Amino acid sequence: MARRFRTGDQLWVRERNLAILLHYLWEASRPVSRAYLTTVSGLNKVTVGTLTAQLQSWAFVRESGMSEPRPGRPGVLLDLDPDGGRVIGVELGVGFISVRVLDFQANTIWARQIVTGDVEDIGQDQQQVLAQAESVIAEAVAKARAGDHRLFGIGVGVPGLVDRTTGILLFAPNLRWRDVPLQAILAKRFGVPVVVENEANAAALGESMLGVATAADDFVYLSAGVGLGGGLVIDGKLYGGSAGFAGEIGHMTIEPDGPLCGCGNRGCWEVLVGPKAVVQQARRAAAEGRAPELLALSDVAGQVEAIRMSHVLAAAAGGSAAVLEILDEMGRYLGIGIANLVNAFNPGMVVLGGMLSLAGTYILPRAQQEVDARALAAPSQGARIVLSDFTFDACVVGSAALILREILNNPTAWQPRLPPFPEAAEGNQRTDSAL
Ligand SMILES: [Zn+2]
């Protein structure tokens, strides 16, 4: 029988404390003294000394200069060793693949994005896109390993439901893919650990570890791309729900008799606030002669069908009344949905990413107004809506962070060399194969 409550022996306590110190170093994101780590962790000085020495020997941590001269002995400062290893983040999007190599301080070493098809052309050839993905990831692997650096692993964000235990992409509606064993395919091809996660969840992790939400323990991440995705961080952790499928909030019903959604239901949040809906309305306005300024844009050149979200934003920036009205309506529906989430989860922050962050200036005031009016908590205690700084990169950064998170949570399992016991090597294949 699986034990429900885990007890800890000395080894476990040591592993936990190593992870805690690494987390504090990550959070500080600047060189800090051992005295600082002693204060924030509550561990004693000797333990901090032993554990940081261990983290240094694993090349997760390095000595980085001396503290400001003060009375007494100046302290040596520690920070994460950028050369401790590299991680790769991959966003397998609808119509594109984005790849990044980060060092252990999460600095970008290399980045590339390739186009794989038209965003509006739903259903993309799986074999072809996977071959393109493997080829661009192979390039990233070569960049990551250049100079004999260790590659820890590859994190992948995908637009669909993922079985977290097997890394199988179960269903990606906008790609029309089902049951793709992504983790197995990529782990076999590249020989490193691979973690696969839903794109919005990966992006939420990116915001939580590296973005605008680093200080928020409870927040909702919302991003509109082809669909509308959401990720929930509760108590500092990505919330997956009972089977890892939480966050499919784009399909909350907002208008029972609203427009038909790709999922088969009517009036889903996604069909009311997604860029697809906005572009459709903009095209209608242009066709009906209400938005001549849209048709006048040079790359639209009078063709209603040529109108894309970028044109809508350009027309909004130019003050088009018809377009601003469409975006205001989008902000209204966005706010109604957010108010529902606020009432359910009481998040301290709502982060808008992707296209929503670009449209932020036009939709945010109305959205915040709806939230303040509809959410039950007083506006001062309610959720603050903020725009992501990553715009379209939260997912690819967050995908790399999937691997960084694993290391921070248990550095012992990711140490460069394991004791030469066969059992240990077998039980820790992920570390073994990452050498
Ligand atoms: Zn739907």
- Distance (angstroms) between ligand 1 centre and the Cα of 266 equals 7
pLDDT digits (tens, 9 = 90+) for 356-387: 888 888 999 999 999 988 888 766 566 789 99
pLDDT at 65 over 60: yes
**How does residue 175 score in pLDDT terms, banded at 50, 70 and 90?**
confident
Lowest mean pLDDT across 109-123, 199-213, 280-294: 109-123
pLDDT at 55: 97
Say which residue, 212 or 345, is predicted with more confidence.
212
Judging by beta carbons within 10 Å of its beta carbon (0-12, 13-18, 19+), is residue 49 exposed, middle or buried? middle
Output the six-digit token pair for 77.
Answer: 């400062």
Do strands 228-234 and 219-224 pair parallel, antiparallel, or not at all (unpaired)?
Answer: antiparallel
Using CA atoms, how far apart are residues 165 and 168, in angstroms rounded to an integer?
8
- Distance (angstroms) between ligand 1 centre and the Cα of 199 equals 17
pLDDT at 428 over 50: no
Nearest 5 degrees, angle CA 426-CA 430-CA 435? 100
pLDDT at 30 over 80: yes
Mean pLDDT of 53-58: 96
- Distance (angstroms) between ligand 1 centre and the Cα of 242 equals 21
pLDDT at 375: 83
pLDDT at 46 over 80: yes
pLDDT digits (tens, 9 = 90+) for 141-170: 999 999 999 999 999 999 888 998 999 999
- Distance (angstroms) between ligand 1 centre and the Cα of 384 equals 26
- Distance (angstroms) between ligand 1 centre and the Cα of 172 equals 13
- Distance (angstroms) between ligand 1 centre and the Cα of 249 equals 9
Using CA atoms, how far apart are residues 293 and 165, in angstroms rounded to an integer?
51
Say which residue, 251 or 189, is predicted with more confidence.
189
Say which residue, 342 or 50, is predicted with more confidence.
50
pLDDT at 434: 35
**pLDDT > 70: percent of the chain:** 90
pLDDT at 346: 86
pLDDT at 245: 67
- Distance (angstroms) between ligand 1 centre and the Cα of 340 equals 16
pLDDT at 2: 67
- Distance (angstroms) between ligand 1 centre and the Cα of 375 equals 23
Do strands 228-234 and 168-172 pair parallel, antiparallel, or not at all (unpaired)?
Answer: unpaired
- Distance (angstroms) between ligand 1 centre and the Cα of 324 equals 25
pLDDT digits (tens, 9 = 90+) for 392-411: 899 999 999 999 999 999 99
- Distance (angstroms) between ligand 1 centre and the Cα of 337 equals 14
- Distance (angstroms) between ligand 1 centre and the Cα of 269 equals 7
Say which residue, 419 or 348, is predicted with more confidence.
348
pLDDT at 120: 60
- Distance (angstroms) between ligand 1 centre and the Cα of 99 equals 29
pLDDT at 321 over 60: yes
pLDDT at 433: 36
- Distance (angstroms) between ligand 1 centre and the Cα of 180 equals 22
- Distance (angstroms) between ligand 1 centre and the Cα of 251 equals 4
Mean pLDDT of 302-319: 92
- Distance (angstroms) between ligand 1 centre and the Cα of 260 equals 8
Distances (CA, A) of 216 to 8, 210, 351, 354, 424: 29, 12, 10, 19, 37
Whether 195 contacts 406, CB under 8 Å: yes
- Distance (angstroms) between ligand 1 centre and the Cα of 261 equals 5
- Distance (angstroms) between ligand 1 centre and the Cα of 111 equals 33
Whether 143 contacts 88, CB under 8 Å: no
